[in-house]
Amino acid sequence: MTILLPFLIFFAILLNYWLVPGGFAWRSHHQSHPKLRGPCGWPILGTLPDQMGALAHRKLAAMAASHCAARLMAFSLGNTRAVISSHPETAKEILCGSSFSDRPIKVSARLLMFERAIGFAPSGKYWRHLRRIAANYMFSPRRISSLETLRQRVADEMLEGVWKEREERGVVELRGIFQRGSLSNILESVFGSCLDLERAELGNMVREGYDLIANFNWEDYLPLRFLDFYGVKRKCHRLSGKVKNVVGQMVRERKRAGEFSGGNDFLSALLSLPTEDQLNDSDMVAVLWEMIFRGTDTISVLLEWIMARMVLHQDIQTKVQEELDKCVGNHRHVQDSDLPNLPYLQAVVKEVLRMHPPGPLLSWARLAVHDVHVGKVLVPAGTTAMVNMWAITHDPSIWKDPWTFNPERFIDEDVSIMGSDLRLAPFGSGRRVCPGKALGLATVHLWLGRLLHQFRWLPAQHVDLSECLKLSLEMKTPLACRVVRRCSGMSF
């Protein structure tokens, strides 16, 4: 015991140094931040072993509840300090405050050029320039309206794909159909047209990028930059080279062709900007690549969740179809102009966004640019701040019967989902709100209307609502359905 005593004392001192509220990364701050609450986590690693995984949003919500820290919980990601809000009031302070104007950027995101695009560019003159271009030239109401013809054509192709798969297999698996439709829609929105070879290559690059961004990488949280764990750097360098080659070539070819001022795609919009607003080729490639990357998965993931709920809740599907029949009839297709007259369809989309927010954690990260108080807690500069939107939308103190799928709640109360009400802000809020939110909603509403107007959707097997958090919150098991045609006299 005499020999062991010094080691036990040393071990106790180490534990006192490491095991502090918030974990290892907060070890030098816990005495000056007495109001911090959070898990101690593991020495050096923080909460990484417990929290990274397919259900991180649920685990972090449960941990915040157990520490009575829904408003703000501190935790560690290796040697990275982090706080997370599971409450609308502190969420608003983080997302709408100027103190969190930047976003932390992962190694993979930086290497894939996202630091020069709208989502991750540091706050400043260049970022403000990108936001102004996006608002005025790329996502304006006029441009969104002008893209309806494209959305309708892609909807036709998806409906044809549904019927073909039904005829060949008897069962329709929607994930692949939605992914192909979303990819076609975003590629033609960005470039106007693509050769089949370019379309396939860009689709492969997007899928590879998802894997690289979504995979956990120790280098993002520990000072191990000299090692390339899992080959992330090597793979990102190779992929960014492909992106520069393929997208850069498309930009150069469009420039050589000239006469792009009348184009209806995003590339034409960028090339026809006034001289003072022009981007150089490398920045243009980064912006276009980000649009392809983020514009593909979000819509397809959300549509699969919506259709899963429609299959599972036949009574709600019937109500939407009755609304469609009353507004549209059975002699024409749903159009953008019909959407304001379809409040129940919009309520269904809101309820799915509440129960299955596509970006419950990863889309929300911010970086404290200076010391700032959030609530009563002092958050030091350099801290990663997150919002758990999944926890907020499932909080019984905020939502009545939060685990019940009930679109009527949005008929009884008109809740904005565009970022002003932090009880439900699936596209973010504040200066970093998603610039393409209006286009995304227009696409989802129209495609959902077309799908439910044309077909009755029935379960082909048990509907598994298990979640898997990758880049977005996906269904773990792809949805399989049976379909019955409703409007037999109307072509796709």
Dihedral of CA atoms 145, 147, 153, 156 in degrees, nearest 10, equals -50
- Inform me whether the pLDDT recorded for 149 exceeds 60: yes
Q: Look at residue 48 in the predicted model and tell me its pLDDT.
A: 63
331-351: burial string, b at 16+ Cβ within 10 Å, e else = eebbebebbeebebbbbbbbb
Helix (H, G, I), strand (E, B) or coil at 489: coil
Helix (H, G, I), strand (E, B) or coil at 7: helix
Instruction: Answer yes or no: is 388 within a domain.
Output: yes
Highest mean pLDDT, choosing among 14-18, 47-51, 268-272, 441-445 = 441-445
What are the DSSP calls for 129-190, one per residue?
A: HHHHHIIIIIS-HHHHHHTHHHHHHHHHHHHHHHHHHHHHHSSEEHHHHHHHHHHHHHHHHH
State what percent of residues in the chain have pLDDT above 70: 90
Three-point CA angle 16, 20, 22, nearest 5°: 160
pLDDT band at residue 454, thresholds of 50, 70 and 90? Answer: very high
Instruction: Answer yes or no: is 408 within a domain.
Output: yes
Domain count, the chain: 1
Terminal CA-CA length for the chain: 83
Q: Look at residue 15 in the predicted model and tell me its pLDDT.
A: 53
For range 123-136, the mean pLDDT: 92
Q: Which residues are annotated as a binding site for heme?
A: 434
- Strands of 172-173's sheet, edge to edge? 172-173, 480-485, 455-459
Radius of gyration of the chain (CA): 24
How many CB atoms within 10 Å of residue 193?
Answer: 10
Instruction: Look up the CATH number of the domain holding residue 410.
Output: 1.10.630.10
For range 408-421, the mean pLDDT: 93
Instruction: Answer yes or no: is 264 within a domain.
Output: yes
Q: Look at residue 366 in the predicted model and tell me its pLDDT.
A: 92
Instruction: Answer yes or no: is 430 within a domain.
Output: yes
Helix (H) or strand (E) holding 97: none
Structure tokens at 414: 């008109």
Q: What are phi and psi of 383, to 5 degrees?
A: -80, 135
Structure tokens at 353: 């966004």
- Inform me whether the pLDDT recorded for 8 exceeds 90: no
Beta strands 80-85 and 384-387, pairing class: parallel
Q: Look at residue 257 in the predicted model and tell me its pLDDT.
A: 81
Instruction: Answer yes or no: is 38 within a domain.
Output: no
Instruction: Answer yes or no: is 15 within a domain.
Output: no
- Inform me whether the pLDDT recorded for 103 exceeds 80: yes
Query: What are the residues whose beta carbons fall under 8 Å from the beta carbon of 380, sequence distance 6 or more?
Result: 29, 81, 368, 371
For range 390-415, the mean pLDDT: 96
Cα separation, 393 vs 402, whole angstroms: 7
Q: Which residues are annotated as a binding site?
A: 434
**pTM of the prediction?**
0.92
Look up the domain containing 357 and give its range.
79-485
- Inform me whether the pLDDT recorded for 201 exceeds 70: yes
Instruction: Answer yes or no: is 65 within a domain.
Output: no
3-state helix, strand, coil in the chain (%, to 5): 55, 10, 35
Please say whether the beta carbons of 432 and 122 come within 8 A: no
Instruction: Answer yes or no: is 24 within a domain.
Output: no
Structure tokens at 295: 């514009």
Structure tokens at 164: 């073909």
pLDDT band at residue 418, thresholds of 50, 70 and 90? Answer: very high
For range 239-265, the mean pLDDT: 86
- Inform me whether the pLDDT recorded for 489 exceeds 70: no
Residue whose structure tokens are 């009574």: 315
Please say whether the beta carbons of 389 and 357 come within 8 A: yes
Question: How many CA atoms lie less than 13 Å away from 289 in the CB half-sphere?
Answer: 34
Helix (H) or strand (E) holding 16: helix 4-18
Structure tokens at 305: 């969740």
